[in-house]
Structure 1
Amino acid sequence: MYFHSSRKTQLLVHIGFDAKRLFHNFTGLGNYSRTLVANLKQYYPETRISLFTPKGKRLPRTESFFDSTKYQLYEGGGAAWRTWSVYKDVNKYRPDVFHGLSHQIPFSSDKLECKTVVTVHDMIHRIRPKDFPSLDRMIYERKCKYACANSDRIIAISESTKRDIIKFYKTPEDKIDVVYQSCDPQFANPVPQEDIDEVHALFSLPETYFLYVGSLVPRKNLLRIVEAIHSMPEADRMPLLVVGSGRKYMGRVVRYIQKNKLGPWVEFLGDLPFRLFPAIYHEALGLVYPSLYEGFGLPVIEALSVGIPVITANSSSLPEAGGDVSKYVDACSVDEIKSAMLQVRSDGKGSEECVAARKAHVQKFAPDSTASQLIGVYESLL
């Protein structure tokens, strides 16, 4: 179910959030949490927001959430508090809705004196169980299954995730609302020249390059991109810059690079300051993101927001993110990845019309639209 409301809410809604990821995670789940809460406050400023978290980290990307004129912050205990006893503190603040932003609500949710919503991002622990240690997989399964069974509403961040929830948990379809996530507003703004100059100075960027953005884990499929580069004639290769971190899988990729003497064509930049992401996208010829499974695929809409070509997989949620303005490949086919990269290398970034079409596509994920849909979910419970 989608909620398309162009009006501002007339209800004075009070939302409590499980904000652990907002303050403590600086990749996908944290980005989702920060963007969702900030957008809700920006477009529905009358909404009262309470944030429940283990002690919050005061960093540049979380600083705004310590503003007591916008948010009520409650800093509680550790994992046991968040999983079991947070209900006591939530009940003291008396929100209308408690929203778990990352697959879980308290196991004591029956003691909450408010409605509950949970966001489910993906079902990776069921679809790719070997990606997780057995204990972690068991914990994820227990938390996610409980949340889907016991929350009043479920938000899935894509139609793909909604289908997976129904498949694995037999959840009634009408209990699930699809509300896409939006990316940080900085990606929709013109990229400051000083940021472009800074990334060139920091990394001595090549004149043209492909970009990979994401954690360095097997599911993200970086090794096949590197294999695709290896399969090209040297004269056709272009550098690949890798933004992200990871240890075990990165070691595997590095060994392949060393064995095949691909060092001149693959460079690891590590974790880039978030404010410089638009600049590193802007200067790239295109994003290569043939992930084997995604709940949504945020780098796809970040790249399209900046206007550059995207090569991504034709499976899971990625066609929802990429729309008809991206190039699709079989994520398991090195040949298809290679062919798509060579095609983008030949075509370049495309015409002004192509760039405009990419930016137009991502308007369906615009923050005002997703905030409106979110308010619709909350209001449906009141």
Structure 2
Amino acid sequence: MSKGALPELAVIGKRVCEPLTGVGRYLECLLRWWGRMDVPFERIRLYAPGRPNLPADALATAELVEIPMRGSPLIWENVTLARHLGPHELVFGPYTLPWSVTGRGVASNLGIYDGRPGDFPWHARLRTTPFFRHSARHARRVIANSASTKNDLVQLYGADPDKVDVVLLGADETLAPRGDEPVSPPAHVLAKYGIPAGPFFLFVGKLSVRRNVPMLIEALALARAQGAVAERVVLVGPDHWGLDPLGLAARAGVGDAVIWAPHAPMHDLAHLYRAATAFVLPSEHEGFSLT
């Protein structure tokens, strides 16, 4: 890490204290690669409400500052965390920054869906939209993961397009093809998730409304009834909205052909990606899906 006149970097790490999904893995990769680069900060601090679910190489990049969470995540970020931030720290966070220090922060936005309000309960929108909008409008800079996300930030949140930078996502080296590796996942991976031997399609991501998991299951049922495919569908991702994918599959007559796992670590996902007949994501809108 180079020494210089730039401030210390404060990284908001509450998403790495949960089981790592898209945003948490994004932060993990940033921390890992910052550790391999000459970054222009005197120090990087990772502020988290508990012990992060991160491997040693990602944790080694930053000084960990654990601040226990009392109350909701919104209170932790905007009140508790804000009190601990040093006056010279540049703040970096996914989607939102503490309200009182937004002007000295960089928000990384990985896709917004306010153009589809029917996909989310009103109380969920009330908890997120004002804070997403405030950070998009008032942060020093905003990072968008695609031109589509930048357009949404400008049109839906009124962000200044001149301070929104499109920074495309890199490829996780864990997912690189390996020619010497058998196509079928190891037996222990299949057993762990209850996946029978044989071909399968793979879906990875939250079972969000916009991603049309019920339609995917219906399409599978139709294709199998017509003898068009022999594949099963493996779904990996949390069901926050109560879609009940296994119940949907049973009612569609393909209960034995749909496997659902709420979460899988990256080393298991790598095996599943390499073995799948195809990755399927029947989504109606994405910034650039982190799956």
When normalised by structure 2's length, the TM-score is 0.84
Q: Deviations over 1:249-275 (max 9, x none)?
A: 442x43432233212332224422331
User: Residue 215 of structure 1: SS of its match in structure 2?
Assistant: coil
Residue 51 (str. 1) matches residue 42 (str. 2): no
Partner of 2:280: 288
Q: Deviations over 1:115-149 (max 9, x none)?
A: 3211112222x122223232221221111111122
Counterpart of 1:240 (choices 233, 238, 244) is 233
Partner of 2:107: 118
Distance 1:200 1:88, change over 3 A: closer
2:185 touches 2:275 (CA, 8 Å); kept in 1? no
Partner of 1:337: none
| Structure with the higher helix share, 1 or 2 | 1
Distance 1:35 1:174 in 2: 27
Residue 178 (str. 1) matches residue 178 (str. 2): no
Distance 1:173 1:46 in 2: 25
Distance 1:204 1:259 in 2: 20
Distance 1:245 1:123, change over 3 A: closer
Cα distance, 1:175 vs. partner? 0.8
Which blocks of at least 5 consecutive residues in structure 1 are unaligned? 1-7, 300-382
1:196 touches 1:283 (CA, 8 Å); kept in 2? no
Partner of 1:138: 126
Distance 2:278 2:117 in 1: 31
Counterpart of 1:37 (choices 14, 27, 31) is 31
User: Residue 36 of structure 2: SS of its match in structure 1?
Assistant: helix
Cα distance, 1:52 vs. partner? 1.4
Q: How does 1:1-382 map to 2 (within 5 A)?
A: 13=6, 14-44=8-38, 47=41, 48-57=43-52, 59=53, 61-67=54-60, 70-78=61-69, 79=73, 80-91=75-86, 94-95=88-89, 97-100=90-93, 102-109=94-101, 115-124=104-113, 126-188=114-176, 190=178, 196-202=186-192, 203-232=194-223, 233-237=225-229, 238-246=231-239, 248-251=241-244, 253-299=245-291
Distance 2:24 2:58 in 1: 13
Cα distance, 1:243 vs. partner? 1.8
Distance 1:250 1:81 in 2: 30
Distance 1:64 1:9 in 2: 18
Distance 2:76 2:241 in 1: 32
Moved runs in structure 1, 4+ residues, more than 4 A? 8-13, 62-66, 191-195
Distance 1:266 1:55, change over 3 A: closer
Distance 1:89 1:189 in 2: 43
Structure 2 counterpart of 1:155, which letter?
I
1:157 touches 1:181 (CA, 8 Å); kept in 2? yes
C-alpha root-mean-square deviation of aligned residues, in Å?
Answer: 2.8
Structure 1 counterpart of 2:169, which letter?
Q
Structure 2 counterpart of 1:145, which letter?
R
Distance 1:248 1:143 in 2: 21
1:230 touches 1:262 (CA, 8 Å); kept in 2? yes
2:31 touches 2:59 (CA, 8 Å); kept in 1? no
Structure 1 counterpart of 2:265, which letter?
P
1:154 touches 1:176 (CA, 8 Å); kept in 2? yes
Distance 1:170 1:248, change over 3 A: closer
Distance 1:44 1:22, change over 3 A: farther
User: Residue 211 of structure 1: SS of its match in structure 2?
Assistant: strand
When normalised by structure 1's length, the TM-score is 0.65
Distance 1:149 1:137, change over 3 A: same
Distance 1:273 1:51 in 2: 21
More moved, 185-194 vs 159-168? 185-194
1:53 touches 1:75 (CA, 8 Å); kept in 2? yes
Cα distance, 1:229 vs. partner? 1.7
1:16 touches 1:50 (CA, 8 Å); kept in 2? yes
Number of aligned residue pairs: 280
Distance 1:9 1:181, change over 3 A: farther
Distance 1:246 1:19, change over 3 A: same
Cα distance, 1:15 vs. partner? 1.7
Cα distance, 1:281 vs. partner? 1.1
More moved, 19-28 vs 285-294? 19-28
